Amino acid sequence: MNDSPGWATPGSSPSEDRSGQDGQGSKGSGSEGGAGGTQPPAQPSDDPRWSAAQPPPGQWSNPGTGEPAPAQAPQPQQGPGWGSPGQQPGARGGPSYGSPYGGQYGNQYGPYGHPGAPWGPPPAAKPGVIPLRPLGLGEILDGAVSTMRSHWRSVLPITLVVAVIVQVFGVLVQKYVLADLDTYPRGDSTIDLSAGDIVGYIALTGATYLVQILGTILATAMLTMIFSRAILGQPSSVATAWRESRSQLPRLIGLTLLVGLALTVAVGVLIVPAFLFESLALAALTLLVLAPVIVWLGVALSLASPALMLEKSTVSKAIARSWKLVKGSWWRIFGITLLTGIITAIITGIIYYPLSMIGVFGFGNGLDSVMDGSASSSWGFLIFGGVALIIAQTITMPIQAGVTVLLYVDQRIRREALDLDLARAAGIDTATDPHPGAAPGHGG
């Protein structure tokens, strides 16, 4: 028998089916060689119930190899997702079936697909924007864009309102407050900063960033709920997203502020010696050492937000969940997050720079205002730049939030068989399709 992983064991051996009959026929039979001997077993060619071509005893060929197979015991066909004999369909904790992903997500047909389609994985259930199996890079990005496209009535109002509020506040602060602070030279003047100017500048800049962070948190919370429904193929609305996310909003705010405060304090404490010794080189060296640590922690905690929202957990549990899910996949999550950041930065640049230049050169003093530093406070630059950022954030915010949510779902599918739970939540009958998640090819 062939019990190698990736193949279902063929039917029972013909010798087993005939063992009882042969045993009864041989009892008490003599042989030509003398009394008490045994009669030689009949050859398959002597029995009309046997095929003329038989494999060697105890050996069976795999389907598709071209070797002869027993006519009375054909290889049973099984649909995608079934395990080995004795394995309950859909049972957790079963053996790996040759998939590079391991665990219960293995493909019982090995890494080359199933018989009849040797170069591709079995199809996976796809009730919504992603197939219910481990995802590749393209599928994560496509899922984020597909959700924004198919659920635009829910997604765009959220991101548009948040972007408008953030940019209007930023424009007003820039025009009426920051422009009065001498934080840069104008023409032949020199910078003359007082302690009050520095404190005021930091406070107003911090307030602007705080409004932006709170707006992003609100949008992220509601978009997470929309994406969770889009995965299951369920409709969503702004009211539904708000109702499902508002109970976790205080915790999400606390999580974001806690992580941001911890990173800020860590950087501040470690860079204090550079200020004490008044050494610019030491400050640069400290930042150079801190940058990889900050990036590493940022990626390790990047899945805390969807874990908090979708699992309805506490801040500490969400941090622990993100740490656990990212462990062993840090470089993959870092690469996808970095690529998403590059894509959104390119989109923002394509929209922002042409419109802001139109504001400067079309409704401002042109290159002179850029040279003397007054362009940043001109109405042309502020309005056109603000409109450009509103458009850019309306487009990029759902992509970034969607990639984070889909990375979280992908990690749980790979580690915790979330695809089975998602299939049941989507109304897929796991009794007839016991393993809707099939391992993809080598992409992503």
SS3 153: helix
- Does residue 94 surpass a pLDDT of 90? no
How much is the pLDDT for 90? 40
Distance of alpha carbon 19 from alpha carbon 152, whole angstroms: 68
- Among 271, 254, 182, CA closest to 217: 254
- Does residue 173 surpass a pLDDT of 70? yes
How much is the pLDDT for 332? 97
- Does residue 334 surpass a pLDDT of 50? yes
Q: Which residue has the higher pLDDT, 185 or 396?
A: 396
Contacts of 36 (CB under 8 A, 6+ apart): 30
How much is the pLDDT for 112? 43
Angle 77-232-345 from CA coordinates, rounded to 5°? 115
For 73-93, the pLDDT digits (tens) are 444 444 333 333 344 444 444
- Among 392, 391, 362, CA closest to 378: 362
Q: The tokens of 81 are what?
A: 């997702």
Distance of alpha carbon 37 from alpha carbon 29, whole angstroms: 8
Mean pLDDT (whole number) for 11-28: 39
Among 61-70, 285-294, 318-327, the range of highest mean pLDDT: 318-327
Q: How many CB atoms lie within 10 A of CB 442?
A: 8
Contacts of 91 (CB under 8 A, 6+ apart): 83, 104
For 106-133, the pLDDT digits (tens) are 444 444 444 444 455 567 889 999 999 9
Cα(first)–Cα(last) distance of the chain, in Å?
36
Question: pLDDT confidence of 195, banded at 50, 70, 90?
Answer: low
Question: pLDDT confidence of 287, banded at 50, 70, 90?
Answer: confident
How much is the pLDDT for 299? 95
Bridge partners, 114 (sequence order)? 117
Q: What is the H or E stretch that residue 288 is in?
A: helix 280-300
Q: Which residue has the higher pLDDT, 352 or 16?
A: 352
Mean pLDDT (whole number) for 141-145: 96
Tell me how far the alpha carbon of residue 243 is from its chain's centroid.
25
- Does residue 290 surpass a pLDDT of 70? yes
Kindly report which listed range (177-191, 225-239, 273-287) carries the lowest average pLDDT score. Answer: 177-191
Tell me how far the alpha carbon of residue 95 is from its chain's centroid.
24
pTM of the model: 0.68
How much is the pLDDT for 25? 41
Q: The tokens of 170 are what?
A: 């930023």
Distance of alpha carbon 242 from alpha carbon 219, whole angstroms: 10
Q: Are 439 and 100 in contact (CB under 8 A)?
A: yes
**% of the chain surpassing 90 pLDDT:** 40
Distance of alpha carbon 248 from alpha carbon 222, whole angstroms: 10
